[in-house]
Amino acid sequence: MFKFIIGGKGPGFKDGRFSDAEFSSPQGLAIHGYILYVADTNNHAIRKVRVICQT
């Protein structure tokens, strides 16, 4: 199980830490290994987020 909160203060197109990243109407997610893919609909982009697991 995992839980993330990703996104800045409003819509945009910015990479960075989970709390700083900006998306515009994300609609879907997929995960492959340690990479989370986000369908960033209004930016017409597939975004990649590296997931680091901690125990």
Q: Cα angle at 35 between 2 and 52, to 5 degrees? A: 55
Cβ atoms of 26 and 13 within 8 Å: the answer is no
pTM for this predicted structure: 0.72
Q: Is the pLDDT of residue 10 over 80?
A: no
Q: Which residue is it, tokens 């290994």?
A: 33
pLDDT band of residue 42 (cuts 50, 70, 90) is: very high
| Residue 22: closest CA among 31, 10, 35, 30 | 10
Grade residue 16 by pLDDT with cuts at 50, 70 and 90: confident
Could you tell me which of 6, 52, 4 has the C-alpha nearest to residue 26?
6
At 41, the pLDDT band (50, 70, 90 cuts) reads very high
Average confidence (pLDDT) over 12-21 = 78
Number of alpha helices (DSSP H) and beta strands (DSSP E) in the chain: 0, 3
